[in-house]
Amino acid sequence: LASDTKGPHPYQSLRWSEKELQVFGAEVDMRVKAGDSITLYCDCVIPLGSLIVWLRNCSHEHQPSLLIDSSKIFKEKFPRFSFVLNSSRNSYDLHITNVSVSDEGMYYCAKREKKISKDVNGIINDQFEYEYGNKTTRLSVLGEKTFSLLFMLICFVLTNPFLLFSLYF
């Protein structure tokens, strides 16, 4: 995979042979409460020999980008994430249980195929090629941030008795 860092996330555009592919299409804004369970829908269709992967890019710098594939799901590296077969589209949607602020970000699915090629020296190489769907979902978690700010303010006031005293009188 040769990723190009143009655009808002590192997987947005890829070098695929000699041409460059970019993600275009609809953006869905999904806002949920912390603790909810949600399903993100994939618009990729998978032919035989391909796999669906889900990618997440975050709007904040402290959360890394994430690539979720079926092997990571089955190895329970992401216990709150699961793939749900969507037989009408021959695809896999992403189900997330107990959503938290750490799940926020831009999600999109892609079809991944392993390609084998031989270079000019006769060396056989393999690499993944990605073809993205037309839909991205921006996931935002409501309520938890407000609660966190209020909790931090209360902790600050309680740990600074002089501030509490001056606020009271």
Residue 169 domain flag: no
> What was the pLDDT predicted at 70?
77
**pLDDT at residue 72 in the model:** 73
The reply to whether 127 falls in a domain is: yes
| Residue 153, in any domain of the structure | no
pLDDT given for residue 9 in this prediction = 39
Residue that the structure tokens 């993944």 belong to? 128
Q: Is 32 a member of any domain?
A: yes
Q: Quick one: pLDDT at residue 90?
A: 82
Per-residue confidence (pLDDT) for residue 36, from 0 to 100: 94
Domain that holds residue 108: 3-142
CATH number of 41's domain: 2.60.40.10
Domains identified in the chain, total number: 1
- Give 60's contacts (C-beta < 8 A, 6+ positions apart): 104
pLDDT at 51: 86
pLDDT at 64: 76
128 in any annotated domain: yes
- Whether residue 102 is contained in a domain is answered as yes
Non-local CB neighbours of 71 within 8 Å, separated by 6+ positions: none
pLDDT in tens, the chain (169 residues): 334 333 333 443 333 333 334 445 688 899 999 999 999 999 988 877 778 899 998 866 667 788 888 777 667 777 899 989 888 878 899 999 999 988 999 999 999 888 888 889 999 998 888 888 889 999 999 874 455 555 455 545 445 555 444 444 4
The pLDDT of residue 165 is 45
Q: Token pair for residue 115?
A: 């390609």
Query: Can you give the chain as a three-state secondary structure string?
Result: CCEECCCCCCCCEEEECCEEEECCCEEEEEEEECCCCEEECCCCCCCCCCEEEEEEECCCCCCCCEEECHHHHHCCCCCCEEEEEECCCCEEEEEECCCCHHHCEEEEEEEEEEEEEECCCCCEEEEEEEEEEEEEEEEEEECHHHHHHHHHHHHHHHCCHHHHHHHHC
Number of residues in the chain: 169
Which pLDDT score is estimated for 79? 85
The verdict on residue 147 lying in a domain is: no
Q: Is residue 98 part of a domain?
A: yes
pLDDT at residue number 32: 94
Q: Whole-angstrom Cα distance, residue 55 to residue 30?
A: 16
